[in-house]
Amino acid sequence: MRWLTLALSSILVATGLTGCGWQGGKDERNKMVISVRDQRMLLVHDGKPVKSYKISTSKFGVGDRPRSNCTPLGKLEVQRKIGDGVRSGTVFKARRPTGEVLKPNAPGRDPIVSRILWLKGTQSQNRNAFRRFIYIHGTPEEWRLGTPASYGCIRMSSRDVIDLYNRVGYGADVFIIRGSLRKSSDNPFMAWLAGN
């Protein structure tokens, strides 16, 4: 983890992505890096990795075509946060809490639960993300985390999505990459950041 901290810190500083706090309501201090290969999310605060979460991306692969159910790649940002103060496991329908609460791994159910961070694409390769309703959200199917299982969104356990929700603000950057977080030398995210 030390090599990742050093590599990520130096690249974030060199590209000016560390920020110096909240400016105009945008969270400049927190970044999320999501690896499709690893099925993990790395939370970076002030240029330093602080937490890693097990996630699930789409079982249909990557892309941004409407109705594809794929997970978009590239740089996105948190456009909306939904779910302040609702109980862990609260079911959402059309981004509204229904009042129903599910426990982790409730059989036969796969709704959006606990919290929603609605993502907006910032590049041509992910420009449809917001209108495709691409979220970071909780899932009751926690047993599937660590494998591609979603319909385009980034799924997390209820505990983890609540933790993430409480740490990040509006406008926080989200980088979704194909490659691994583990090998900085061949990590396409690192190369992409260095070139932007």
The alpha carbons of the chain give a radius of gyration, in whole angstroms, of 16
- 46-55, 151-160, 184-193: range with lowest mean pLDDT: 184-193
- Give yes or no for a contact between 38 and 143, defined as CB atoms under 8 angstroms apart: no
Domain 2-194 CATH superfamily: L,D-transpeptidase catalytic domain-like (2.40.440.10)
Q: In whole angstroms, give the CA distance from residue 113 to residue 87.
A: 9
Model confidence at 2: pLDDT above 60: no
CA distances from 98 to 5, 17, 93, 101 (A): 41, 38, 7, 8
Read off the pLDDT of each residue in 105-123 and give the average, rounded to a whole number: 94
Q: Where are the domains of the chain?
A: 2-194
Q: In whole angstroms, give the CA distance from residue 30 to residue 94.
A: 27
**Residue, of 186 and 180, whose pLDDT is higher:** 180
pLDDT at 66: 95
7 three-class SS: helix
**Residue, of 73 and 8, whose pLDDT is higher:** 73
Model confidence at 31: pLDDT above 60: yes
Q: In whole angstroms, give the CA distance from residue 167 to residue 9.
A: 19
